[in-house]
Structure 1
Amino acid sequence: MIAAIDTLRRAVARARPHPGRLRWLGAALSIAAVAALAVFWLPGALREHALRVLPDVKQSEIGADLLQRIGRVGGAPCKAIGTNNALQNLARRTGARRIVILPGGIRETLFLPGGTVVLNRALVEDFEEPDVAAGFILAERARNSTSPILRDVLRTAGLRGTATLLTTGNLPDVALDAYAEQALASARTAPEHDTLLEYFAKAELSSAPYAYAVDISGETTLQLIEADPMINKEVRPVMPDADWIRLQAICES
């Protein structure tokens, strides 16, 4: 009888709730939820917040810092007497804030935070008309409109780097160096043709010269050739011939 009573008592004890155990389980679940938010949600949310609140002046500063770091590998921006007007004309026609030509480092073009577009010297030296260089600038702007480069910079900087930017106004040097190395090594993804054609139409530029520069056969850029917004229309020159000739020699001095 005593043994049976002990067995019954143990069974009842097991069936009773254990508040301490439930509290520990609840705390563990809460900690896991917070950790999941910190790992998966917070970095992206902080990054998007930075994109919304970061002023243009600060974006331009980040762009200048990146250009300085890229220039250590690709060389200082090319300069020559009489080319400022040509660069300004090219920027105005393509909607860029500023155009910089480097002797090397980047493969073709690179959009920098703040609106500067960097070109490899080959885009002005290897083609007879400025329409090709203008097309690559428009492609870079179109690419940035769908995938802002500042988002890539902050993604490379990570949670700590983005938080540092928001609290101090500066990105850590290590984050800038890391993105500069990444920009030099990685290939640029081609923008959607429909998006790119909109940029050519707005700039009143023919898309065919750019299309053939990307693919001389025209097979992979056929849409840009057939849907050229300036077909059967008079195209206003990007710049005077004299300015283009000067620009082609900008890296020779």
Structure 2
Amino acid sequence: MTALTEFERLEAQGSWRETPEARLREVIVSVGDATLTLSDPKSDRPLSHWSLPAVTRLNPGKIPAIYSPRADGPDETLEVDDPLMIDAIERVQRAIALRRAHPGRLRGVLMLIAALAMAAAAVIWLPDAMTRHAARIAPPAQAHAIGKAVLADITRSTGATCERSSGRAVLDWIAPRLIAEGAEIHVVPAPVNGARRLPGQVYVLGNDMLLTAPGPEAAAGHLIAAQMAVTERDLLLDALEYAGTGAVLRLLTLGTLPEDALRGYGEQLLQRSAPAPGDERLLRAFEEKGISSEPYARSLDPTGRSVMPLIEADPFRDGPPPKPLLTDQQWLALQQICAG
């Protein structure tokens, strides 16, 4: 498409209302040379074709952008919150308007000006937008591969992950129960200041959390806190911003990052303070998982002074103790995961 030379095909999710009385319906929006196509995301069947020159934005400057195929009596409407798609629609409309409004000898000059403007916009706007777009659309398998790459870089500082089979079996058993289906927990020999969540539901825990605690509750608390403290999209965005525009472009076109794109990122990540969610959210999660909050709080501050709200509001402080998270045999196997 002439107005969007950097993309072979540009698609985004949108919400389409066929009539004012109809319910919003999820669609895939794709931009052509002069048309906007709305398709069913399940069958790829086109549902509507709009002429881009006639498309009108009903709420300029607001997000999500609301479009109609005509300004007078907008029967159909489309809501789009993807900044890349919103900008693309406006750029194509501008290009069409320029071709129509300035025919003849001025056309070449105007096309050159438009090209220079788009080039300037690409230099200033495109890298950040492209990185955010890549973080937003990354499928789970791609996010997991990025998480494993970050883990591999972390092990350059901490030593290789501990993989003693009995301890590994405990981690594989507890990960979906404690965090989510598909989650992976890895233990490294060196401290990582609690637990760290990496892209793709990959978690890393320092062996010190297993050796210095009387039970698994403290380590479990750090894993839950790591899960709640940051979203998957923010994790991916942070990693991709470190990787750089060239690496992100390769990810979008070939599906993988360059091998050394995240070199040094893991070490940088460990130098930051581990993010933590608010106490109220964390306490609710502990109650849902059946875990006392005091062991986690004491691992942060053995004196308890700075974490008193977590201790005093322990959901199991005045009631019967929660069901043990692991059996004695499982806990012993987990403590020995780095042995041998």
TM superposition score normalised by structure 2: 0.60
- Contact 1:110–1:119, Cα closer than 8 Å, also in 2: yes
Identify which of 70, 81, 86 aligns with 2:170: 86
Kindly, what percent of the aligned residue pairs are identical? 34
Check if 1:108 corresponds to 2:194: yes
Which string of whole-angstrom CA distances, capped at 9 and with x for unpartnered residues, describes residues 153-207 of structure 1?
A: 0121232222221111111233211322312333323332233223223322111
Check if 1:68 corresponds to 2:152: yes
- Contact 1:89–1:239, Cα closer than 8 Å, also in 2: no
- Contact 2:230–2:275, Cα closer than 8 Å, also in 1: no
Per the TM alignment, residue 66 of structure 1 is displaced from its structure 2 partner at its CA by: 2.0
- In the other structure, the counterpart of 1:123 is 209
Q: Which whole-Å CA distance do the structure 2 matches of 1:114 and 1:33 have between them?
A: 34
Per the TM alignment, residue 224 of structure 1 is displaced from its structure 2 partner at its CA by: 1.7
The AA in structure 1 aligned to 2:169 is: N
Which string of whole-angstrom CA distances, capped at 9 and with x for unpartnered residues, describes residues 99-140 of structure 1?
A: 111112633322121112111100001111100010010111
- In the other structure, the counterpart of 1:8 is none
Identify which of 220, 224, 232 aligns with 1:134: 220
Per the TM alignment, residue 146 of structure 1 is displaced from its structure 2 partner at its CA by: 8.0
Instruction: Quote the RMSD (CA, aligned, Å).
Output: 2.7
Identify which of 177, 180, 196 aligns with 2:263: 177
What are structure 2's unaligned runs of at least 5 residues?
1-108
| Cα 1:223–1:88 shift into 2, 3 Å | same
Give secondary structure in 2 for the equivalent of 1:148.
Answer: helix
- Contact 1:75–1:105, Cα closer than 8 Å, also in 2: no
TM superposition score normalised by structure 1: 0.79
Q: Which whole-Å CA distance do the structure 2 matches of 1:92 and 1:244 have between them?
A: 17
- Contact 1:106–1:183, Cα closer than 8 Å, also in 2: no
Q: Which has the higher helix share?
A: 1
Q: Which whole-Å CA distance do the structure 1 matches of 2:132 and 2:210 have between them?
A: 36
Larger Rg: 1
The AA in structure 2 aligned to 1:243 is: Q
What are structure 1's unaligned runs of at least 5 residues?
1-22
Identify which of 215, 227, 241 aligns with 2:328: 241
The AA in structure 1 aligned to 2:143 is: Q
Q: Which moved more, 1:78-87 or 1:233-242?
A: 78-87
Q: Which has the higher strand share?
A: 2
Residue correspondence of structure 1 range 153-168 to structure 2 within 5 A:
153-168=239-254
Which string of whole-angstrom CA distances, capped at 9 and with x for unpartnered residues, describes residues 53-87 of structure 1?
A: 21111111112222222223321111224223321
